[in-house]
Structure 1
Amino acid sequence: MEQHRKQPARGGSAVWAVAITSMAGFIAALDNLIVTTALPSIREDLGGGLEDLEWTVSACTLTFAVLLMFGASLGDRFGRRRLFAIGLGIFTAASASAALAPGMGELIAARAAQGVGAAIVTPLTLTLLSAAVPAERRGTAFGIWGAASGIAVATGPLIGGTLTEHLSWQWIFWVNVPLGLALIPLALLRLDESHGPNPSLDLVGTVLASGGLFGIVYGLVRGNADGWTSTPVLGGFFAGTALLVGFVFYELRAKHPMLPMRLFRHRSFSALNAASLLMLLGMFGSIFLLSQYLQIVGGYSPMEAGVRMLPWTAMPMIAGPPAGALSDRIGGAPVVTVGMALNAVGLCLWALAVEPQVSYTSLLPALIVCGIGMGMFFAPSANLVMSTVRPEEQGIASGANNAIREVGGAIGVASLAAVFSAQGGYGSASLFVDGLVPALWAGAGAVALAAALALLMTGQRKADGPTAGLVAAGGNPAGAAAAT
């Protein structure tokens, strides 16, 4: 049985819980996009190629994706406060290692470790916050927590660009260190310990999923360099696919599976998760390239590029609330479908507008359309996930959806970068655009397919509980984390 405190949370304890979990959520969400505007500076300083930049992003998102539900299980078994502090310690140490990295290999390893820490911290922020705050005040508490993560996602490229331009790219990682060091003792002193009802750990499932996804992404990253029919690339695809098939079969028979396959019997759940993967594939892969385009081709400084990304990254905070209200009236499925369609249109506008010499105003409509589409997707999709499963399955369903989004983001960076490098490169502005345009069309196609899959979603049941939508966001109400 889960251990709860015998007395209701005191006001001071609840305030500390809100502050600690919101700040932890902020730095974990910030790490998703803060690196994007620093990529050209990292490449110039450490001498990495395109595949190194891909792994700089994907190493973190992959480890986060495959360990997200495992991190929550660790907290249930060994104590949520204890694992929360350990996760913060891993994330903080990995951030310092990334800042001190002398080469791309060390940086990629540190980024993977950051993903491990974030995978432990992120799911535990909600459980710790829920345990500390009385039910009648949880709406306000989760609103503060969600706003902190949303602000981090919206301002990530700007903060990353500002730190890179005025200090150095290393400071996008150093900024996490004092925050992490301050949060660890506060968590141990101010948060109460609790355990979950299911202390089992799916070690085999975690290893199979991790190995399978690594094999697929490795094949995509190395395809152009080694040749798509080379032994390492084909081996990566074959081994990755085999391990993922093995993961599915194992989860079907496991007593306590990390990802219960029975959830996918519901057509809407399957359709929404497949659509979410394709949506983040197209969007995150495009952001990876477009943040570099603004600096390499547009000639903007890192901070200027971050400012010019705001109509895209910050728009979901504006479009999200009315999209959520509209979904309450007409249902989430049509709103999510339209949001995906708008994202596909926005990427098409980007593909039509980008040139070696183009004004920012010509790019602005694409940014705004993509931002509105993201807001319409993320706001209702959380409750859609919850509505497709039984109340007792909502936690694991939301974790699965968030993990699938992160996987989509990692595959998106690898696949769109593969299209880019097959057609273009970093040699000149014209060469960069030659690769960017087909990559954007590929991203638009993936998002358009996501919108088509979203049409398969049926009517939804109302999600139970005041925190359902927030839990479904997996610790990042602005998305992917997500993904993005």
Structure 2
Amino acid sequence: MFKKWHGNPWAILVTLSLGFFMTLLDLTIVNIAIPDLGQDLNASLDQILWVVNAYTLVLAVLLITGGRLGDLRGKRNLFAAGVAVFTLASLACGLAQDPAQLIAFRAVQGVGAALLMPQTLSIIAEVFPADRRGVAMGVWGAVAGVSGALGPILGGALITHLSWRWIFFVNLPLGAIVLLLTATIIPGTRRPVRHRFGTVGVLLASSALFCLAFGLTEGQRYHWNRWIWGLLVLAAVLFAGFLLHERGRQNEEPLVPFSLFRDRNFTFINFVGVTVSFGVVGMFLPLTIYLQSVLGFSALKSGLVLLPVALGSFVMAGPAGALADRIGGKYILMGGLLAWAGGLTWTVAEADVGTPWTHLTAPLFLTGLGAGCTFAPMATEVMRNVPPRLSGAASGVTNALRQVGSVLAGAVVGAVLQGRLSSALTDRARESAGSLPAAYRDAFVGAFSRAEADVDARQQSGVPDGVPHDVAERMHALGDQVFGHGFVDAMGPAVYVSAAVLLAGALACLAVRRHRGPSANPHALPVTEPSEPSEAELKEAAR
């Protein structure tokens, strides 16, 4: 029944957006389920963190490879394979019986996402002409902006009314629909050309990204010891080896064509993409903890409080994409990043122990408006001058760098949050201990000094055996106050780091050349769709 839409660009866009939506939703939906996962599977904190990180790590490592495979094996084929792997892995995650199984299947989910995600951007760049690409990227950007914000909302509803397993089962009907649409709507490749895969380059790039992502993710947990720094150094060495290897293959079929970076916009917009991904993680990581652990909101209510972010992003994504067609994305991006940073700063100013949720609505909506101005113009500008034959490689590089930004945000913001929280809890405990009998003050302060920034530190308020009931109640009440005020003290610097990174992205926009119409193409790279194979390609295919 969908065959009449076969090859229709807008139907293709809807199909791609649905697949893209699944992968981005899983980046945030799991965070809201952490308490339930730990209780139901009897998982340690370290195991729970790996449930979250396994998906991101594998996704970051394999994105460049997935993009290149799309160029070589057909973008539709890789998109369909990615959707199938992701959907089956989601079923396995929902059926997992212990933490080890869940971690393993989350990694398989990352494989599926890495196969399908790069194809979305490159197929859009191929099926839409340059003068209409901004509107299409606006839809794509709306999906990118809203999916992350919807994760806590949808996850909270599913957990409240069903169970944590349904945050994975919800992907099953969606995946089946996307596979059906892919088979009937997206046309297959028309390029019967044989390509080489470049195994050495894939191994070097994947190994470098794995060492970098793993080192950044696990650095704080292992106190940045020698082997963590060794992994980061090894990542730099492997990356240097990858560049040397790719340099010698530029006249053949490189995994990362250096010609992409001759376009100044491609280079700087990719940096902006890193800052945007940093901002997303840096925003949701402290805010979700604040809403649940300080204000005491349920998973569902926490998600609903964050709804203005999704609404603001949805409102602005479409107009931002359309404006990018007319005037270019430079100043739209800059304005969005400035509004995003301003919204985060305003949110921190309003946040306190006992803050009514209504006080957070306006700053969160401003944050969403800013985020909505970034995704579509960023996608338009980064792919504007990319030749169609390199669109898969370009999309893989772009998405890989964005995932590195997410991993970097988790490491940096997490380290700042934990470091500041540890000292803030101790300072607040000392201030509050004066209202307790002298015999119990040291135990009260010592419990928070040993808490090591645990988000449940308020439960460790140091109540020894034999404490009178009235004193024990007082210590528990003080523990809640200490944690709440301590977390608010620590959240400010952590969020300010994200705001500063977003401001750096806004400054980078100054180096972007302003687009003045569909004909702009400073490096004379082809931007039209590949309607037929070239003569050289036909000769190669005939041989």
* Letter paired with 1:200: R
| 1:156 Cα deviation after fit | 2.6
Contact 1:155/1:314, CA 8 A, preserved across alignment: no
1:454–1:187 CA distance, 2 compared to 1 (3 A): closer
Contact 2:208/2:239, CA 8 A, preserved across alignment: yes
Structure 2 distance, partners of 1:66, 1:56, is: 16
* Letter paired with 2:336: G
Which residue of structure 2 aligns with residue 449 of structure 1? 504
1:152–1:423 CA distance, 2 compared to 1 (3 A): closer
| 1:323 Cα deviation after fit | 2.9
Structure 2 distance, partners of 1:360, 1:309, is: 10
Equivalent position SS for 1:29: helix
Q: 2:198 aligns with which of 189, 202, 207?
A: 202
Q: 2:24 aligns with which of 26, 29, 32?
A: 29
Structure 2 distance, partners of 1:150, 1:224, is: 28
* Letter paired with 1:115: G
Residues 328-373 of structure 1: CA deviation (Å, up to 9, x unaligned): 5543212211211222222222333332322212222331221111
Does residue 270 in structure 1 map to residue 267 in structure 2?
yes
* Letter paired with 2:509: A
Which residue of structure 2 aligns with residue 6 of structure 1? none
> CA RMSD, aligned part only?
3.7
Identify the range of structure 1 (409-418 vs 241-250) with the bigger mean alpha-carbon deviation: 241-250
Does residue 163 in structure 1 map to residue 155 in structure 2?
no
| 1:443 Cα deviation after fit | 1.4
Identify the range of structure 1 (198-207 vs 315-324) with the bigger mean alpha-carbon deviation: 198-207
Residues 358-392 of structure 1: CA deviation (Å, up to 9, x unaligned): 22122223312211111121232222213455565
Contact 1:30/1:153, CA 8 A, preserved across alignment: yes
| 1:458 Cα deviation after fit | 2.4
| 1:12 Cα deviation after fit | 5.2
Q: 1:401 aligns with which of 398, 401, 407?
A: 398
Does residue 241 in structure 1 map to residue 236 in structure 2?
yes
Aligned positions of 1:85-234 closer than 5 A = 85-124=80-119, 152-181=147-176, 183-184=178-179, 187=182, 193-194=188-189, 196=191, 197=193, 199-228=195-224, 230-234=225-229
Contact 1:316/1:372, CA 8 A, preserved across alignment: yes
Aligned positions of 1:339-354 closer than 5 A = 339-354=336-351
1:195–1:102 CA distance, 2 compared to 1 (3 A): farther
Does residue 420 in structure 1 map to residue 417 in structure 2?
yes
* Letter paired with 2:22: I
| 1:417 Cα deviation after fit | 1.2
Q: 1:252 aligns with which of 234, 247, 251?
A: 247
Q: 1:336 aligns with which of 327, 333, 337?
A: 333
Residues 81-103 of structure 1: CA deviation (Å, up to 9, x unaligned): 54444322311222123223344
* Letter paired with 1:56: V
Equivalent position SS for 1:342: helix
- Percent sequence identity is 36
Identify the range of structure 1 (406-415 vs 381-390) with the bigger mean alpha-carbon deviation: 381-390
Structure 1 distance, partners of 2:341, 2:307, is: 19
1:323–1:162 CA distance, 2 compared to 1 (3 A): same
Structure with higher Rg: it is 2
Equivalent position SS for 1:226: coil
| 1:277 Cα deviation after fit | 0.8
Contact 2:275/2:505, CA 8 A, preserved across alignment: yes
| 1:462 Cα deviation after fit | 4.2
Residues 17-69 of structure 1: CA deviation (Å, up to 9, x unaligned): 67754543332333233223223433444455666555434432333234234
Contact 1:73/1:199, CA 8 A, preserved across alignment: no
TM-score (norm 2): 0.73
Contact 1:22/1:145, CA 8 A, preserved across alignment: yes
Structure 2 gap segments, 5+ residues each? 422-452, 459-482, 521-526, 529-543
1:235–1:101 CA distance, 2 compared to 1 (3 A): farther
Identify the range of structure 1 (438-447 vs 79-88) with the bigger mean alpha-carbon deviation: 79-88
Equivalent position SS for 2:353: coil
Contact 1:219/1:237, CA 8 A, preserved across alignment: yes
Residues 150-183 of structure 1: CA deviation (Å, up to 9, x unaligned): 6644533211111111111121011112433565
Structure 1 distance, partners of 2:298, 2:65, is: 39
Which residue of structure 1 aligns with residue 36 of structure 2? 41
1:178–1:459 CA distance, 2 compared to 1 (3 A): closer
Which residue of structure 1 aligns with residue 360 of structure 2? 363
Residues 252-296 of structure 1: CA deviation (Å, up to 9, x unaligned): 222322222232233332222122212321332321232232122
Identify the range of structure 1 (421-430 vs 75-84) with the bigger mean alpha-carbon deviation: 75-84
Which residue of structure 2 aligns with residue 295 of structure 1? 292
* Letter paired with 1:438: P
| 1:453 Cα deviation after fit | 1.9
| 1:193 Cα deviation after fit | 4.1
Equivalent position SS for 1:359: coil
Structure 2 distance, partners of 1:246, 1:311, is: 45
Contact 1:51/1:221, CA 8 A, preserved across alignment: no
Structure 2 distance, partners of 1:138, 1:375, is: 17
Residues 416-450 of structure 1: CA deviation (Å, up to 9, x unaligned): 11222222221134343344222112212211222
* Letter paired with 1:314: L
Structure 1 distance, partners of 2:125, 2:323, is: 27
Structure 2 distance, partners of 1:143, 1:322, is: 7
Structure 1 gap segments, 5+ residues each? 1-8, 470-484
| 1:318 Cα deviation after fit | 0.4
Q: 2:488 aligns with which of 430, 433, 436?
A: 433
Which residue of structure 1 aligns with residue 315 of structure 2? 318
Structure 2 distance, partners of 1:318, 1:309, is: 15
Structure 2 distance, partners of 1:272, 1:320, is: 17
